[in-house]
A and B are shown apart, each in its own frame.
Chain A
């Protein structure tokens, strides 16, 4: 249950973070086209943009939740599970940023969702299982 809550929060934080960051970067680009030489200017403008601050804070929150989940759950569970964020990002890009989503992308999002369901059904942690197995061996 704890794993489900933390990973759901992580996925939401990552998707929202990407949307805000995209929005912030696009608002900046709309002022004028960006080239490599404008990097200091981009950084300065970025500091002034609340959307970029908020997006970055959300992505940091994602990383903290991801690392926290790794403290008790398998990497081979957490990694594919957080990939559900890609599918959420496609939906968010479509609904909030009004991006055109091709059939190939919707198919990709669907495949990821099925993959995440399979991983979720495999159970969150081999660690607890190992502990149980270990206890079982001691009893024998």
Chain B
């Protein structure tokens, strides 16, 4: 694997996971969405769009997406997707370390199987 490809894939995975972690933190801060009334939803939407963590999460997701598009232009999709499927495991690690989520062994096993399955699906 070329160094540039490895770096680009690392950016896709790390920025994507950081995006998920920040997005979660922002949504948790904005509070549980437990209403369907349009007016209340609009208020929550305003709160979310003003939340720093949410916005940083969106920026990380955009960085991850553009790194993904860039690496697609020179490397094989059948290499990229299996490599980026690692993000399911990296995000789970982020959820544990940064969001302090409790992750049972059952949930770890599930995340690993999902990651493996996504890698298999993308093989040609």
Binding site for B on A (CB under 8 A): 2, 67-68, 70-72, 74-77, 79-80, 83, 86-87, 90, 102, 104-105, 107-123, 126, 129-130
Q: A79-B95, A87-B117 are in contact. List 12 more A-B contacts (CB 8 A).
A: A70-B23, A75-B20, A79-B91, A80-B92, A80-B114, A86-B118, A102-B123, A104-B123, A107-B120, A113-B117, A117-B110, A119-B114
Selected A-B contacts with CB under 8 Å, 16 pairs: A70-B24, A70-B28, A75-B24, A76-B95, A76-B111, A80-B92, A108-B117, A108-B120, A111-B117, A115-B114, A115-B115, A118-B109, A119-B106, A120-B110, A121-B106, A130-B102
Residue of A whose beta carbon sits closest to that of B120:
A108
CB within 8 A of B101: which of A71, A90, A114, A126? A126
Binding site for A on B (CB under 8 A): 20-21, 23-24, 27-28, 30-34, 48, 88, 91-92, 94-96, 99, 101-104, 106-107, 109-124
Do A74 and B101 have beta carbons less than 8 Å apart?
yes
Residue of A whose beta carbon sits closest to that of B106:
A122
Residue of B whose beta carbon sits closest to that of A103:
B120
Do B111 and A72 have beta carbons less than 8 Å apart?
no
CB within 8 A of B102: which of A70, A102, A111, A129? A129
B contact patch SS: helix
Residue of B whose beta carbon sits closest to that of A74:
B101
Residue of A whose beta carbon sits closest to that of B103:
A76
CB within 8 A of B96: which of A76, A86, A108, A119? A76
Which residues of chain A come closer than 8 Å to B115, judged between CB atoms?
115
Do A118 and B106 have beta carbons less than 8 Å apart?
yes
Which residues of chain A come closer than 8 Å to B28, judged between CB atoms?
70-71
CB within 8 A of A110: which of B34, B94, B99, B117? B117
Residue of A whose beta carbon sits closest to that of B105:
A122
